[in-house]
Amino acid sequence: MLKEFKSFAMRGNVVDLAIGVVIGAAFGKIIDSVVADLIMPVIGALTGGLDFSNYYLPLSGAVNSALAYQDAKKSGAVLGYGNFITVLISFLIIAWVLFLVMKAINRLNAGKAKAAPEPTRQEALLMEIRDLLAKKPQA
Residues 91-118 pLDDT 10s: 888 888 888 888 988 888 876 666 678 8
Q: What is the 3-state secondary structure (H, E, C) of the chain?
A: CHHHHHHHHCCHHHHHHHHHHHHHHHHHHHHHHHHHHHHHHHHHHHCCCCCHHHCCEECCCCCCCCCCHHHHHHHCCEECHHHHHHHHHHHHHHHHHHHHHHHHHHHHHHHHCCCCCCCCHHHHHHHHHHHHHHHCCCC
* pTM given for the model: 0.56
Report the pLDDT value the prediction gives residue 127, as an integer from 0 to 100: 93
Q: What's the whole-number mean pLDDT along residues 113-129?
A: 85
Distance, in Å, from the CA atom of 78 to the CA atom of 94, rounded to the nearest integer, reads 27
Task: Walk me through the domains of the chain, giving residue ranges and CATH numbers.
Answer: 2-135 (1.10.1200.120)
Q: What is the percentage of the chain residues whose pLDDT exceeds 90?
A: 9
Which residues lie across from 99 on neighbouring strands?
Answer: none
Report the pLDDT value the prediction gives residue 113, as an integer from 0 to 100: 64
The model's confidence at residue 52, banded by pLDDT at 50, 70 and 90, is confident
